[in-house]
């Protein structure tokens, strides 16, 4: 077989075209890579939802889907826990966090703070255990004379008079105005 009779193979013809047209080859390779990257980005992913790994026909999955359909606001939530040295500081921080988060409706759809709602302010005692409620009732009953005096005269002077009486009690003694438990 002579060179004149030699017919180039398909691979040789393909490589010859690549060598003769390097810019076209580079453009074609980049286009295919871009399409592959776009396909990978849109079609491949990791679902980190552990519920999605379970069969949708399971009864609890069906119940979960109905719950999510009925209450969409319970889905995709974030819980923030606020800690502070005192309950008052925690309350002030919670008020500020709620106020600031509600100012960002484009980022945060809704803010729910059950402890700060009017409902819990009015009905919070209903959520105490019976023992806690009885202890609170006992403390309020013991403080009733003091609270009664403050309720009769709501001016600051009355409060300061009461505080002065506390200060002037017997030195070293435990006598306090009626209704003020000094041990708590």
What pLDDT shows up at residue 11?
Answer: 94
How many whole angstroms separate alpha carbon 93 and alpha carbon 116? 12
State percent of the chain over pLDDT 70: 89
What pLDDT shows up at residue 184?
Answer: 46
Domain definitions of the chain by residue range: 10-38, 73-127, 128-184
Q: What is the pLDDT of residues 113-139, one digit of tens each?
A: 888 888 888 898 998 999 999 999 999
Q: In this structure, are residues 80 and 97 in contact, taking their beta carbons and an 8 Å threshold?
A: yes
Q: In this structure, are residues 122 and 133 in contact, taking their beta carbons and an 8 Å threshold?
A: no
User: Residue 178: is its pLDDT beyond 70?
Assistant: no
In terms of average pLDDT, the best of 102-106, 111-115, 156-160, 166-170 is: 102-106
Q: Which two tokens stand for residue 44?
A: 């491949």
In sequence order, the 6+-apart residues with CB closer than 8 A to the CB of 86 are none
How many whole angstroms separate alpha carbon 145 and alpha carbon 151? 10
Over the Cα atoms of the chain, what is R_g?
38
Q: Is the dihedral of CA 30, 31, 32, 34 positive or negative?
A: positive
How many whole angstroms separate alpha carbon 171 and alpha carbon 153? 28
| Helices 10-20 and 22-43, axial angle in degrees (round to 10) | 100
pTM for the whole thing? 0.43
Q: What is the pLDDT of residues 41-84, one digit of tens each?
A: 998 888 887 877 888 899 988 998 899 899 887 777 888 899 99
């Amino acid at each position: 077989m002579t060179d004149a009779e030699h017919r180039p193979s398909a691979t040789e013809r393909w490589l010859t075209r690549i060598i003769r047209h390097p810019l076209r080859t580079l453009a074609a390779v980049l286009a295919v890579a871009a399409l592959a990257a776009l396909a990978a980005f849109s079609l491949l992913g990791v679902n980190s939802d552990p519920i999605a790994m379970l069969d949708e026909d399971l009864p609890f999955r069906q119940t979960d889907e109905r719950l999510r359909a009925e209450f969409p606001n319970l889905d995709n939530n974030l819980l923030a826990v606020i800690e502070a040295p005192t309950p008052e500081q925690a309350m002030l921080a919670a008020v500020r966090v709620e106020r600031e988060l509600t100012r960002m409706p484009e980022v945060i759809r809704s803010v729910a703070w059950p402890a700060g709602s009017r409902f819990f302010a009015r009905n919070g005692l209903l959520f105490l255990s019976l023992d806690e409620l009885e202890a609170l009732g006992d403390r309020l009953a013991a403080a009733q004379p003091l609270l009664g005096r403050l309720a009769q005269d709501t001016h600051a002077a009355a409060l300061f008079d009461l505080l002065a009486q506390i200060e002037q009690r017997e030195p070293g003694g435990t006598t306090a105005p009626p209704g003020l438990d000094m041990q708590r």
